[in-house]
């Protein structure tokens, strides 16, 4: 199985009902691991059904396939339907390129730095 | 008795010289790789695609990453839809340096979704229209979006072995 790892970190927010988390995905998301890895995010959404704000830190993500993009789209739909938001930060050029070609950058903002993403998420 | 191993140099037949240099600038390079129908091997073929494109085709690094995705999506389709477990798929790269890169993926025709080339052409056309007009769910972006956007030609053929062959080509002059 291709290597991939997900770590989740809480980010303190002024608003008590707002749950902000940084989800760092490292490695490569492909057919061999994406179904298994995606369970972590679905569990996170299930545990925090409302006002969930996720910042995906893609600084160490080297590859993602079309199915991983499908999952990202699904998480976007589920989270934004319940007053939450998704943002991406520090994605490498090849990752931004593939997100652009499938049109996902029109739905999800890609921030250049993690600080920029944090500021945007905490302020929204 | 002296038990020190001795090393002798064979002198019988002259060794054939194996080239160890990149092909010359205008030489067409064709490489075929056979993979078992197992997603485990996809990361290896992606690594190969990246290195080969960077070193032997004249395409930019950005295109090397794009071909990585094209190959990954084509191979995954061949494994998931066109070939049963325990079978093989064949990936062929034909590089015309400074001109084009052609990628051909053959499935074994033993998978759960066996389509003829004509049927696949129809499905592809339908999918391409769908991605332009509808919000897609989990699936459907691989061939119709990633492969279609990042290649200039895509052809489906029925192979002699009873499987489906997908042939894509990208011209370097057409970024």
> Domains of chain A, with CATH numbers?
4-123 (3.30.750.24)
Task: Give the C-alpha distances (Å, rounded to integers) separating B123 from B9, B72, B102, B112.
Answer: 62, 19, 22, 16
- Mutate which of B43, B127, B148 to disrupt the A interface (most A C-beta within 10 Å)? B43
CATH code of the domain in which B58 resides = 3.30.565.10
For residue B123, being part of any structural domain is answered with yes
The span from the CA of B2 to the CA of A107, in Å, is 78
HSE of A99, CA atoms in CB hemisphere, 13 A: 25
Residue-averaged pLDDT of chain B:
89
Residue written as tokens 């990246």?
B50
Q: Name the nearest CA neighbour of A3 among A23, A24, A30, A22.
A: A30
Query: CB B146 to CB A93 under 8 A?
Result: no
CA distance, residue B7 to nearest chain A CA (Å): 43
Nearest to B137 among A30, A70, A101 (CB): A70
**pLDDT grade for A16, boundaries at 50, 70 and 90:** confident
Q: Name the nearest CA neighbour of B54 among B43, B42, B62.
A: B62
DSSP state of B22: P
- Mutate which of B37, B39, B149 to disrupt the A interface (most A C-beta within 10 Å)? B39
B25 pLDDT higher than 70 = no
pLDDT per residue as tens digits for the range A39-75: 999 999 999 999 999 999 999 999 999 999 999 999 9
Residues of A in contact with B141 (CB under 8 A): 66, 69-70, 102
- Residue B122: give the domain boundaries: 29-171
Strand partners, B101: B95, B170
Q: In the structure encoding, which two tokens stand for residue A86, read together? A: 């998704």
Instruction: Please give the pLDDT value at position B13.
Output: 63
The span from the CA of B82 to the CA of B76, in Å, is 9
Contact A2, B13 (CB under 8 A): no
Give the residue, B123 or B1, on which the prediction is more confident: B123
Strand partners, B73: none
pLDDT per residue as tens digits for the range B44-92: 999 999 999 998 899 999 999 999 999 999 999 999 988 899 999 999 9
DSSP state of B40: G
Structural domain count of chain B:
1
- Mutate which of A2, A3, A42, A65 to disrupt the B interface (most B C-beta within 10 Å)? A65
Q: Between vectors from CA B34 to CA B169 and to CA B25, what angle results, nearest 5°?
A: 45
CB atoms within 10 A of CB B163: 22
B22 pLDDT higher than 90 = no
Summarize chain A as % helix, strand, coil (round to 5): 40, 30, 30
Nearest to A97 among B65, B138, B145 (CB): B65
């Amino acid at each position: 199985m291709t290597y991939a790892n997900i770590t989740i970190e809480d980010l303190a927010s002024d608003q008590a009902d707002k749950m902000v988390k940084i989800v760092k995905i490292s490695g490569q998301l492909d057919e061999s691991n994406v179904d298994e890895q995606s369970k972590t995010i679905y569990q996170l959404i299930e545990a925090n059904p409302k006002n969930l704000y996720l910042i995906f830190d893609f600084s160490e993500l080297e590859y993602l396939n079309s199915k991983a993009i499908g999952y990202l789209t699904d998480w976007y739909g589920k989270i934004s339907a319940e007053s939450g938001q998704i943002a991406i930060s520090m994605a490498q050029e090849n990752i931004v390129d593939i997100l652009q070609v499938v049109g996902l950058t029109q739905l999800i903002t890609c921030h250049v730095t993690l600080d920029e993403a944090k500021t945007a998420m905490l302020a929204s | 008795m002296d038990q020190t191993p001795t090393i002798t140099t064979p002198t019988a037949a002259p060794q054939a010289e194996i080239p160890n240099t990149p092909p010359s600038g205008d030489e067409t390079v064709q490489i075929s790789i056979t993979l078992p129908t197992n997603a485990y091997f996809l990361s290896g073929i992606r690594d190969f695609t990246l290195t080969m494109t960077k070193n032997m085709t004249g395409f930019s690094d950005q295109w090397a990453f794009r071909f990585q995705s094209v190959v990954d999506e084509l191979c995954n389709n061949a494994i998931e839809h066109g070939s049963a477990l325990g079978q093989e798929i064949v990936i062929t790269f034909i590089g015309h340096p400074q001109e084009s890169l052609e990628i051909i993926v053959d499935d074994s025709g033993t998978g759960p979704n066996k389509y003829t080339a004509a049927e696949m052409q129809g499905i592809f056309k339908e999918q391409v229209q769908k991605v332009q007009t509808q919000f897609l769910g989990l699936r459907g972006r691989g061939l119709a979006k990633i492969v279609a956007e990042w290649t200039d030609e895509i052809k489906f053929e029925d192979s002699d072995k009873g499987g489906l062959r997908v042939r894509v080509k990208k011209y370097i002059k057409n970024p």
